[in-house]
Structure 1
Amino acid sequence: MKSSLGPLCVVAGSLLSSTVFAHAAVAGATPPFAGATFEADFTVSHGCNGADTYKMRVQIPEGVTGVRPVDSVFGKAEVEKDASGNVTAVTWTRPASEVRAEDTHFFHLGLRMKLPSKPFTTVFFPTTQTCRMLGGTETVVEWTSTAGGEHNHDGDAGTAPSENPAPSLYLLPSRLPGWNQYTVDEHVHDLTVFKDALIVWSGSQAYSFNSVTQALIEKEPGVTALTQIHPGTVIWVKY
């Protein structure tokens, strides 16, 4: 960690950008910290070519535990478990009588879970959306592509690229206000995962999501821009 940061930390600020949601997405009121309990909000922005959404099935990946779904105005939740009692999927189904003649609503589906203790990795939740016409005809859309993820370096985590990405969470390390030291076990090539940090240091390299601070980093003598982090690297991050 650089001991004398000069003007860099004076002007460093955390800039938050809005998340662009896919048609089936997951987010939460708090950041998804690795190893922590997380209240997930799965959102369904529209149905299928004008047909109303009737059922949503979300697969729970290995390593996600303590899953407890929330019944919603969309419908009641049912869980599937493996032989060990671990929840492997959650399905919300609307009463057929409540399916509308056309696709007009946005839906929220919630569950609480404990996330894996694997910071700087992506957790995918492959999701199946079933839509239904009033006559009973059903259409299925698979939001299951795990290619790449939002910040992954490797090109594929299980399937080929697709226009239907699975909802995913990029796990962040827990932190305290001030300086935090981490040993990064994953290859981090997209440093916007530190967009809520003031500054990131690795040896004589530094990064900030704040464009003003980043410009100062690039002008600081003896300091070069940090562009990626390799496994085993020790970093210092100020929040």
Structure 2
Amino acid sequence: MKVSSRTLSAIAAFLLCHTAEAHIGLSTPAQPIAATTQELSFLVGHGCEGLDTYRIEVQIPEGVGGVRPLDSTFGRAAVTKDETGRVKAVTWTKSSDVLPEDTQFYKVTLRASLPNAPFAALYFPTIQTCRAPDGTEKVSAWVGTSGDHGHGLAEGSTELPAPSLVVLPPRTPGWNKYTVTQHVHDLSVFKDAQIVWAGSAAYSPSDYVSGLISQEPNTQVLEQIHPGTEIWVRY
């Protein structure tokens, strides 16, 4: 990790002044740190072809445990377990009458323990069932997962993307050293970092710091991280 005093001074000055669509989204109230318990909220912004959402089934990936769903204003939750007793799916069914058209935003939430697998991508395939007042149903299967190294859908895939998150490693304020075991394509997982270094390459979510990196002699802009790479991250 090499950087000139000119660049360090500029970054330090900047940080002192700046301290801290149609799909089913997934949000957490805090960063999804490995081996922690999190609330996972699934955000349903649209129904199916104009029909109101009636049922939401979220499938739980391997490695995610301690699943405890929350009832919501949408409806009560029911769990499905495998032969070992592990929760493999949670289903919320609307408790009130379906609406005559797709006009509502829905959110359902569960609490779960994330695996100790830093930088791993977790996919939660979700089946959305919509219903018309006359009982006609349509289904949207949000089940598309990785096509290449845990990143996005395979080229040409027609599957709807499954809700997903990337598990992050524990961190402390200041510099953190990690050896990455997953292929990290999307560096937005470092959206709350100040800067990331891997050898002579660096990344920052800040446009200003990114500009400094691109101008720094003998320094490349970090675009992806391969397994086995040692990185330094400043939070």
TM-score (norm 1): 0.87
- What residue in structure 2 maps to residue 177 of structure 1? 173
Q: Which runs of 5+ in 2 are unaligned?
A: none
SS at match of 1:6: helix
Q: Give yes or no for the alignment of 1:8 onto 2:8.
A: no
1:25-69: CA deviations, max 9, x gaps? Answer: 211111211221110111111211221111111100111000000
1:9 CA drift (Å) = 3.3
Check conservation: 2:130, 2:138, Cα contact below 8 A.
yes
Letter in 2 for 1:99: V
Matches within 5 A, 1:198-213: 198-213=194-209
The 5-angstrom pairing of residues 1-239 of structure 1 reads 1-2=1-2, 5-12=8-15, 22-95=22-95, 97-148=96-147, 152-153=150-151, 156=154, 161-162=157-158, 164-239=160-235
Q: By how many angstroms is 1:211 displaced?
A: 1.8
State whether residues 153 and 161 of structure 2, in contact with CA within 8 Å, keep that contact through their aligned partners in structure 1: no
Residue 78 of structure 1: SS of its match in structure 2? strand
Aligned CA distance change for structure 1 residues 145 and 153 (closer, same or farther; 3 Å):
closer
- Per-residue CA deviation, residues 148-182 of structure 1 (Å, 9 max, x unaligned), is 49x945865xx972351111112122211111110
Aligned pair count? 231
**In 2, distance between residues paired with 1:172 and 1:22?**
26
Letter in 2 for 1:103: D
RMSD value, Cα: 2.5
Q: Give 2:195's aligned amino acid.
A: I
**Deviation per residue, 1:82-116 (Å, 9 max, x gap):** 11110000000113x52122222111101000111
Per the alignment, in what secondary structure is the counterpart of residue 89 of structure 1?
strand
Change (3 A) 1:22 1:132: same
Which amino acid in 2 is paired with 1:238? R
C-alpha distance in structure 1 between counterparts of 2:157 and 2:19, whole Å: 30
Deviates more, 1:137-146 or 1:70-79: 137-146
Contact 2:143 2:159 in 1 (8 A): no
Cα 1:181–1:14 shift into 2, 3 Å:
farther
Unaligned runs of 5+ in 1: none
Which amino acid is the alignment partner of residue 106 of structure 1? F
The answer as to whether partners of 1:25 and 1:167 remain within 8 angstroms in 2 is yes
Deviations 1:206-237 (A, max 9, x none): 22121221222233334333232221111110
Moved more, 41-50 or 68-77: 41-50
Which amino acid in structure 1 is aligned with residue 100 of structure 2?
Answer: A
